[in-house]
A and B are shown apart, each in its own frame.
Chain A
Amino acid sequence: MIQVEHLTKYYGDYPAVRDVTFFVERGQVVGFLGPNGAGKSTTMRILAGYLAATSGKATIDGVDVFWDSVEARRRIGYMPESCPLYPEMRVVEYLRFRAGLKGLYGSARRKRLDYVLERCWLKEVRRQLIGTLSKGYRQRVGLADALIAEPKVLILDEPTSGLDPTQIRETRKLIRELGEDHTVLLSTHILSEVERICERVIIINKGEVALDRSLTDGEATGRLEEVFVQITGAE
């Protein structure tokens, strides 16, 4: 579903992503890990069509994200880090607007709107201004936006950062359920989360893939942390 081949991105002279290659199969939930500044967000932005890679190739469902960017974007639900929204709009207005941008109108839009409001626990704040929402609710609005056009692929950049433990748990449960009919690539810093939701983990360090393997069910909790520290801590 997601194919990334030899992706490289330079910011000026600084290589943020260096020769990254990985594949994500349909219906997989993949954790994208790495220390701050490792190139996670840059890779995700390239996949979402916001930035272009310096070299290399990425396709979503067979569509090239650079050459056929709009078509690729139709297949992606993307939630950026820190989840920027328009504070002056109401939740329902915002989601309706986003659905319109993604080509959803009329009764199809109403149906999807009801579905995501229900799914992301936004029913009781639907008429509230986004600016007055707490961080947790804003993240949910971002997630609802990513989901609204029923994309095949979800790219979530730190969907649980800044949430309280209950919300993290709810979000985690939601993502696991979404993994049943969407392909999910999510980045996070919380390793235990990856162990619980993801079938596979990709660790990226200094712009390069350092580890790419599936998580077996029997893997002991805490094992991933050791691996992570081993990879990223070794200077």
Chain B
Amino acid sequence: MRATWTLIRREVTAYFLSPIAYVVLAAFLLVTGHLFYLTMTSLTARGPVGIEWPMRGLLADERFWLVFLFIPPLLTMRLFAEERGSGTLEMLLTAPLRDGQVVLAKFLGAWIFYVLLWLPTAIYLPVLLHFTDGRFQIDPWPMATSYLGLLLAGAMFLSLGMFISSLVRSQMVAAVVSLVLSLGFVLAAFWRPEMDTSGLTYRLLYFFSVPLHFSHDFTRGLIDSRHVVLYVSVTVFFLFLTVRSLESRRWR
């Protein structure tokens, strides 16, 4: 257990020892900051415009998802591909740790960095909640469900990226392939306007389309168990595949 913790700590610090962490952090804050500004503008707008659910302004925007799509692959591309490329994987896997421990530690390391990425956005919340006279003017529950959704959806994208990274030697290939695969969970949302929302196709796409989950449910304070089950089961599935992929070196 302590060995796993040692590895988690090294994984998290490794992000801060490479420029990628700072680039991702800066780009991410720029985009969320801009969306926050737009949300504030519509919240304070005069006349018959405005926004009903403030978190939708932040998380249901297509621009947000286009940027979000790039983040997990950038965080996960190095996990195994870098170690395999430079040969340090051999050092890591000959240490007395089970493959499952290595996979779990690397995943949690990436996930902790992902949580750190979201942490600065917490300063928007008191403003959005319109915190005056010692109480919230707006319901805080949608914020909680939005963040819950983000933590789980992030885990899903990260585990997918980690699995791809465990298959290849080049970080670039790992990033591009996991980006393309993650698109499958996002793209459907962009076809929305042309679709019959009562049809079977839409219902199927809705099941996999993460942005729709956010715009319909999480940002409105709803926790739909279907989405949670999808995120958790896909995460567990890819963690399992990553362990298998590491083990495959032994029989190849």
A contacts, CB < 8 Å to B = 45, 48-52, 70-71, 73-74, 76, 78, 80, 82, 84-86, 88-89, 97-98, 100-103, 105, 145
Query: Once the chains are docked, how many angstroms separate the CA of A51 from the CA of B89?
Result: 12
B contacts, CB < 8 Å to A = 2-3, 6-7, 10, 14, 17-18, 86-88, 90-98, 249-251
Chain A positions within 8 Å of B87 at CB level: 80, 82, 84
Query: Once the chains are docked, how many angstroms separate the CA of A85 from the CA of B14?
Result: 13
- Do residues A88 and B2 form an inter-chain contact, with CB atoms below 8 A? no
Main secondary structure of the interface of A (DSSP, over half): loop
Known contacts A84-B87, A85-B88, A88-B18; decide if A50 and B6 are in contact (CB<8 Å): no
Q: How many inter-chain contacts with C-beta < 8 Å in the A-B complex?
A: 63
- Do residues A80 and B95 form an inter-chain contact, with CB atoms below 8 A? no
Most buried by A among B88, B91, B92: B91
Query: Once the chains are docked, how many angstroms separate the CA of A234 from the CA of B178?
Result: 51
- Do residues A50 and B98 form an inter-chain contact, with CB atoms below 8 A? no
User: Which partner residue on chain B sits nearest A49 by CB separation?
Assistant: B94
- Do residues A50 and B249 form an inter-chain contact, with CB atoms below 8 A? yes
Query: Once the chains are docked, how many angstroms separate the CA of A98 from the CA of B250?
Result: 23
Please pick, from B2, B17, B86, B93, the residue contacting A50 in the complex, using a CB distance under 8 A: B93
Given contacts A45-B90, A80-B91, A103-B2, 13 further A-B contacts (CB under 8 A): A50-B90, A50-B93, A71-B96, A73-B96, A85-B88, A88-B14, A97-B6, A97-B10, A98-B91, A100-B6, A101-B92, A101-B97, A103-B3
Please pick, from B2, B90, B95, the residue contacting A98 in the complex, using a CB distance under 8 A: B95
Query: Once the chains are docked, how many angstroms separate the CA of A87 from the CA of B181?
Result: 31
Known contacts A70-B96, A73-B96, A84-B91; decide if A100 and B3 are in contact (CB<8 Å): yes
- Do residues B86 and A101 form an inter-chain contact, with CB atoms below 8 A? no
User: Which partner residue on chain B sits nearest A71 by CB separation?
Assistant: B96
